[in-house]
Amino acid sequence: MSVCNGAFYLGKAGLLDGLTATTFYGLIDSLKELAPKARIVSDQRFVDNGKIITTAGLSSGIDGALHLIEKIAGRGRAQEVALNLEYNWQPDVPYARASFADRHLRKVLGVGGFKLPAGTSWTVLGQSGGKDAWEKNWEVQLDGTAPELLKLIDSKLSEGWTMIAADTRRENARSIWKFSDPDGVQWNAVAAVEPAGRESNVFHLSIKLARADQITKSGLE
């Protein structure tokens, strides 16, 4: 059994060849490159391929360990261990961090993120979503205007997405995007910047994305 990036040791040794596996959500693509003969999935907290159990990050390792206890000593014993750990074990609830839609936003931003001028400060206000849609909000303090901030955001998003339209003429500026994921599924996104209302150089930035066939359900317009 492996936890998090422990799957890379198994993959490098060829022990995952021909088998299904997973790893920490931010390392899925890297494991696919390292172990091209394995089937790496992003929709499971842990994978039991009958030979090796691989788990995603952190608490997914607990799920994998409890699964192993269940295999050896039964579900009742695994439940007892989970209770003693004060861990809310839900083996039948599908929850996989790697499957969330924010993976597409993280991919386009990359390690460097937005290329903002020196002295710019930002705070993540919140984020939520699931497999088919995601929304993330920031507060950004920048010496400039809302359209100027949006142009900086657009310059980064354009590295991986295609712009459909943009309106940077007003203080409530927005741009609309489209892209395809590795499975060929079409997605749409909207980036918007507006004054926060307190100070002239403080703005609210939001990015929403959703599968093109889920636009109505997601509320993305």
The predicted model scores a pTM of 0.87
Which CATH number does the domain housing residue 141 bear? 3.30.530
* Final residue before a domain boundary, out of 98, 124, 159: 98
Q: What span, in angstroms and rounded, lies between the C-alpha atoms of 6 and 21? A: 11
**Residue given tokens 């079409």 in the structure block:** 186
Examine the domain organization and report whether 87 and 118 are in the same domain: no
Whether 138 and 201 share a structural domain: yes
CB 165 within 8 A of CB 176: yes
Q: How many domains does the chain have?
A: 2
Record the tokens describing residue 97, joined without a space. Answer: 């961090």
The CATH number of the domain holding residue 89 is: 3.40.50.880
Indicate whether 38 and 52 sit together in one domain: yes
DSSP letter string, 118-132? TT-EEEEEEEEE-SS
Tens digit of pLDDT at every position of the chain (221 positions): 999 999 999 999 999 999 999 999 999 999 999 999 999 999 999 999 999 999 999 999 999 999 999 999 999 999 999 999 999 999 998 899 999 999 999 999 998 899 999 989 999 999 999 999 999 999 999 999 999 999 999 999 999 999 999 998 878 999 999 999 988 999 999 999 999 987 788 999 999 999 999 865 555 65
CB 55 within 8 Å of CB 61:
yes
Same domain, 32 and 69: yes
Cβ atoms of 106 and 49 within 8 Å: the answer is no
Integer Cα distance of 144 and 173 in angstroms? 13
**Residues 36 and 86 both lie in one domain:** yes
Name the token pair of 35.
């172990």
Range of the domain at 172: 102-218
Domain boundary residue, one of 67, 98, 129: 98
